Structure 1
Amino acid sequence: MGAALLFGVVGMLRLPKAAVLASPSKKFKVALPETLPAGEAFVPPGRAVAVYRDAEGTYAVSTICTHLGCVVKANPEGFECPCHGSRFNADGTVSRGPAPRALPWLKVQLSGGVVVVDEGTTVPSGTKVA
């Protein structure tokens, strides 16, 4: 019986290891530059999110195109998709297709002067935190 247990344990040690890659957290902190003009997008490096601050509060918009999932680029008028030319206003609404719907707004919280964005949670368009 002891030999069977030993062979069983040795056999388990030889099983392949799971190849799981860690992915970044869906929640992350953003320190907005003090000099960020109202209505201008701040895109944190390595994230598909644009964060805005204006007189009404702070909000975040996903920068994943609703057409085919390309990452849109921020510009002074809003966003433009480099894949098929969709254009979005700064609030995420579609100004030119083929994108079928607006860019989703993401949950934002303020914590000690730092913005916390949750890429995994959408909120209704127009939801801002003061």
Structure 2
Amino acid sequence: MYPLRSVRDTLPGGRHHYGARGVSDQLEECMTTQPKSARSRLDPEPLPRRDWLGLASLWAAASAFLFATLGMIRLPKAAVLASPSKRFRIHLPENLQPGQAFVPSGRPVAVFRDESGVWALSTICTHLGCIVKPTPAGFECPCHGSHFAADGSVTRGPAPQPLPWLKVSLSGNSLTVDAGAVVPSGSKVSA
């Protein structure tokens, strides 16, 4: 529409056409004529975007390194705790009646005494490894209902095998039970 615009100079006052002076022209003049205020040396220097991104990535890398180091420091600790010894001492109570089961706390064994001697049975069910509970008739598994006689034989399944007899040794009034050593059924230590 204005083919000569690029060739001709601007009109006086910085306008490209004749007419009233626009508000945008006044604003532009106001912005260019006022001096820019000098920044004080006490004002913090603005952080450019590139510097901010660099610092953010530095902090991210440092935190990743810190968490990896903490994980490696934690590694040498054992993940599995040592199990208690399978060989332990039990002090038999004086009032243990013949045929009555004595179950020491925290141990998966039951100790019996009769006229012919002392013996111990494992109280771990041979079906799925639950701890059986003593009953007047013997033992009962609370998990799946297996029943065992006082000598460890299965009276009602689903347990496939009898409770194992454990190796015992007697010294004075204390009994040493080796839960890791199975002995034939009927092996008793004379009291």
TM-score range, shorter chain: 0.7 to 0.9
% identical equivalent positions: 64
2:180 aligns with: 120
- CA RMSD in angstroms comes to 1.4
**Alignment equivalent of 2:143, drawn from 77, 80, 83:** 83
**Matched residue SS, 1:64:** coil
TM-score (norm 1): 0.86
* Stretches of structure 2 lacking an aligned partner (at least 5 in a row): 1-71
Report whether the alignment pairs 1:72 with 2:132: yes
Structure having the larger proportion of residues in strand? 1
2:120 aligns with: 60
CA distance in 2, matches of 1:27, 1:72: 20
TM-score (norm 2): 0.59
2:84 aligns with: 24
* Stretches of structure 1 lacking an aligned partner (at least 5 in a row): 1-12
Q: Quick check: 2:92–2:173 contact (8 Å CA) kept in 1?
A: no
Q: Quick check: 2:147–2:155 contact (8 Å CA) kept in 1?
A: yes
Distance 1:73 1:14, change over 3 A: closer
Runs of 4+ aligned residues of structure 1 deviating over 3 Å after TM superposition are: none
Larger radius of gyration: 2
Q: Quick check: 2:148–2:156 contact (8 Å CA) kept in 1?
A: yes
How many matched pairs? 118
Distance 1:58 1:14, change over 3 A: same
